[in-house]
A and B are shown apart, each in its own frame.
Chain A
C-alpha cells in the first residue's frame, strides 16, 4: 500500500512555509517527503480531511493543531487514503465530496442564470432598439430632421456639379411644390437641387433637401414619371426614414457601449453614422412604405400615380443595357414585386380627375440635353430658396 503521489506540504518549520512533496500512505499515517529530504507524518487518527483547491478536488490532511497540512490533488488519492486509513476517514471524505458537489451545483446554477440573463438582455436590447428607436425618433420635433439634413447636405459629395438653370430647377421645384401639400407631416420645407450626373437617381435627406440627377430627367418620358420618383423620395422624408435609421444605428452603438461600459466614443460614431445612414439605402420595409405613401401623395395631388409604375418598368427594361448608372434601381431592389404592389394599390384608389403637371417638359429636356455645359455652376454651397 506504499503508493506515492505528487503533492505538497504546508508547515511553519519549512522555509517559506511550504514545499512540494511526495505524498506517501504509510502504515503509521500520511507521510510527505520534500525535495530537501525533510519528512512529515500525520497519523490517520489525528487527520482532519478537507477538500478544496483550484479544482475543488484537492485533499487537505491536517494535524490536530492545524500546524501541518499535507495536500494532494491526484485523482486516485482519495480512494487510496480511504483504504489506507481502513475506512476511518470515510465520513470526512464523504462530507468533502458532498460539499464539492454542492458547490459545483451552485456554480452551475450561477453560470446558467448569468448566461440566461445576458441572452435575455441581448434579445431585449435588439427588439428594444428596433421598435424603441422608431417611436423615440418619431417623438422628436421635425426641426431636428432639417438640422441633420442641412448638415449632411453641406458636407456631402453630390457626385457632380449643381445645375443653376432656372427653368430646369424651377420645373423640378414646381413638381415638388404640387405634391408637398399632400405630405403627411407639416413643417418640412422641400428644396430641390439638380445635379449634373449620368446617374439615374434622386434622393431626399431628412428635413426636405432633395437631390435630382440630370440622368433621371433624361430617362423619364413625362413629368409624371419624375413626380413618381420624387413622391417616393419625399415620402422617405415625411415618414422620417433617414432619421429612424440613424436612431437605430445609434441605438445599437449605445447598447454596445452600455455592455462594454464606455460611452465616450458615442459622439464620434454618431457623426460618422449620420452621413452614411442618411444617404445609404433604406430597408425593404421603408421602401415599401415610401412607395405606398408616394402613391397616396400623388393621388392626393391629382397627379397620375400609374406613371410611377411605368417608370419602374422602363428602368427595369433599360437596366440590362447599361448597369451601374442605375443607382436608384440598385438601392431599390426587387422592383418586379414593387411594380406589382404599386399597381395593386392603384387599382384600389377612388377615381379622381388627374390634372397634368404644368411645366414646359420639352424645354426642360432641351436645356438638359444641349445647354447643360454653359448653365452649370461649380459652387458647392447649397442654394437656399
Chain B
C-alpha cells in the first residue's frame, strides 16, 4: 500500500492515471501527446505506477499498451470507506462537484 500512495503523490502520475481512466490501453506515444514532459520522464512515471500495480502493461503485437488497474484503489476503499453509506458519500461528492464547477480539476489538483 505504501507504493500506491507514493505513486499517487505526484501530479504528473495522477495526470497519467486520469488519461488512462478516460481512455484505457494507451501506448507511451499516445500518452506523451497529452503531456508536456519528455518521453523519458513519462516512461519513468509509468514505471513507478507499474511498480505500484496501478498501471498494467500489456503487449498487443508490437505495441505496449497501458491499462489503469483499479484493484489497489479498491483495497483502499475497502479499508477506509466501505462501512460508510455510499449514497451519502455520493451526495456529498456531487455537492462538492456542483459547487466547485469543474469536477476534474478540483478533484485532481
Query: A and B: partners?
Result: no
